[in-house]
């Protein structure tokens, strides 16, 4: 839906500044709320969790489920425009909200991102290469899988993130066992490809079609969870970076997308590029932009939602981002401890972002560190020192 700009100091019907709403109350919602508040907007979060990180900092927290009719009605009453902070918000809820308020991204775009088969068909439809795959919904489809797709990675078609809902399978016996382990739900089987590295591109697209992008981000995952992001991408040729940006822009354009979109790619051993998946929201790999760019991915999320002008982000510092998982809050014996923040913060260029989560758990995203410097080598050196202090593996 195209809408006019919601200026931060514009007064709504209730006489207050314009209000922006967000479905979901995790750390991405928290950082969106903080960016919106810096620009003068009132904020409202819908999330059922009483300890929601975003709800803790928003002006209003509606404690309701994502399909709760009263909660959705309250959100529509308070907010002039609404976004989402994670892709598994029910598309039906966004469709309901979109009937009354501008919603960015729209329900139909989010629905594509929620289904791995639809996502891959969309990639192929707009000329973006991706791994060969097959949709598995029935035992007959399982039996008919082409030999060339094995070995492969079996993934649930819906609700997977951070490596969850994925099983590597070497042969048909493992494929059948893996599908049973995943509950026989609809899955996609992707051919396993020889990977060299992982990268991502974040674009922001406005309702009028204007589009900007952040630099290509080089990513390292451990156990399916992003561990390290480096910008500029140190090992990716310029031509390949340009191809990745063009592919991400093509995906956003063909979706008629409004908002911030991240497309993750694999660089194969032969140097070619294939799309992995996309996220209809700001992305973990773009957190460095808060400290290393003149506008962050959350600033652009605010601008696309409010109908304000987009500007091409400028990377003013080289950056390394380290994800901080709950494991850091426990010693080798499992006893809870505090990470050595004083020593880490004594390093030059280190910015600590903690998400306000009440209790650490292994694998839970508790925060991130961004290390900025005038050049990539200096940023990487300081980030390696921080990783050593925290007990993180080098990269």
Per residue in 304-347, pLDDT (tens digit) is 999 999 999 999 999 999 999 999 999 999 999 999 999 999 99
Q: What is the pTM of this model?
A: 0.94
Residues 6+ apart with CB under 8 A from 346: none
Torsion of CA 202, 85, 184, 263, to 10 degrees: 0
Residues 6+ apart with CB under 8 A from 290: 31, 296, 298, 351, 353, 370
Are 270 and 184 within one domain? no
Q: Which domain holds residue 279?
A: 194-316
At 1 the pLDDT is: 41
DSSP state of 111: H
Distance CA 383, CA 395 (A): 9
Structural element, H or E, at residue 43: strand 42-46
Burial grade of 285 (CB within 10 A; 0-12, 13-18, 19 or more): buried
Q: Identify the domain boundary among 316, 334, 351.
A: 316
Which is higher by pLDDT, 394 or 159?
394
Whether the predicted pLDDT of 36 surpasses 50: yes
Please report, for residues 269, 272, 315, 346, the alpha-carbon distance to residue 241 in angstroms, rounded to integers and kept in the order given.
16, 11, 15, 34
Q: Is 70 exceeded by the pLDDT of residue 390?
A: yes
Domain edge (last residue) among 296, 316, 336: 316
- 3 falls in which pLDDT band (50, 70, 90)? low
More confident residue, 11 or 321: 321
pLDDT tens-digit readout, 148-180:
999 999 999 987 666 678 999 999 999 999 999
If one counts the domains in the chain, the total is: 4
- Is residue 282 domain-shared with residue 229, that is, in the same domain? yes
- Known binding residues for ATP are 116, 155, 160-166, 190-193, 198, 221, 276-277
The CATH number of residue 286's host domain is: 3.30.470.20
Strand, helix or coil for residue 189: strand
Annotated binding site: 116, 155, 160-166, 190-193, 198, 221, 276-277
Nearest residue to 265 via CA among 297, 288, 237, 241 = 241
Q: pLDDT tens for residues 77-114?
A: 999 999 999 888 998 999 999 999 999 999 999 999 99
């Amino acid at each position: 839906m195209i809408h006019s700009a919601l200026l931060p100091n514009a007064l709504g019907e209730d006489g207050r500044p314009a209000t922006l709403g967000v479905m979901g109350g995790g750390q991405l919602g928290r950082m969106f709320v903080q960016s919106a508040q810096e620009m003068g907007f009132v904020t409202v979060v819908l999330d059922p969790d009483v300890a929601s990180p975003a709800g803790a900092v928003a002006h209003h927290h509606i404690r309701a489920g994502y399909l709760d009719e009263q909660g959705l009605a309250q959100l529509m009453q308070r907010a002039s425009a609404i976004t989402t902070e994670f892709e598994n918000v029910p598309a039906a809820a966004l469709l309901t909200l979109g009937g009354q308020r501008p919603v960015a991204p729209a329900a139909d775009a989010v629905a594509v991102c929620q289904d791995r088969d639809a996502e891959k068909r969309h990639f192929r439809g707009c000329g973006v290469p991706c791994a060969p795959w097959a949709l598995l919904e029935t035992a007959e489809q399982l039996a008919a899988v082409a030999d060339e797709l094995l070995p492969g990675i079996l993934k649930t078609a819906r609700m997977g993130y951070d490596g969850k809902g994925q099983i590597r399978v070497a042969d048909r016996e493992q494929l059948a066992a893996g599908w049973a382990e995943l509950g026989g739900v609809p899955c996609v089987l992707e051919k396993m490809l020889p990977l060299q590295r992982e990268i991502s591109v974040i674009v922001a697209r406005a309702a009028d079609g204007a589009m900007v992008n952040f630099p290509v981000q080089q990513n390292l995952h451990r156990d399916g969870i992003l561990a390290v992001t480096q910008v500029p991408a140190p090992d990716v040729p310029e031509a390949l970076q340009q191809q990745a940006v063009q592919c991400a822009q093509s995906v956003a354009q063909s979706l008629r997308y409004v908002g911030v979109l991240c497309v993750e790619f694999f660089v194969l051993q032969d140097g070619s590029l294939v799309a992995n998946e996309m996220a209809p929201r700001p992305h973990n790999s773009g957190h460095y932009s808060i400290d290393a760019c003149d506008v962050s991915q959350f600033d652009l999320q605010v601008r696309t939602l409010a109908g304000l002008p987009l500007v091409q982000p400028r990377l003013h510092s080289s950056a390394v981002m380290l994800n901080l998982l709950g494991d850091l809050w426990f010693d080798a014996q499992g006893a809870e401890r505090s990470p050595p923040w004083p020593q880490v913060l004594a390093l030059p260029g280190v910015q600590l972002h903690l998400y306000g989560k009440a209790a650490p758990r292994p694998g839970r995203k508790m925060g991130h560190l961004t290390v900025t410097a005038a050049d990539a080598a200096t940023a990487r050196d300081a980030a390696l020192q921080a990783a050593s202090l925290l007990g993180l593996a080098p990269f």
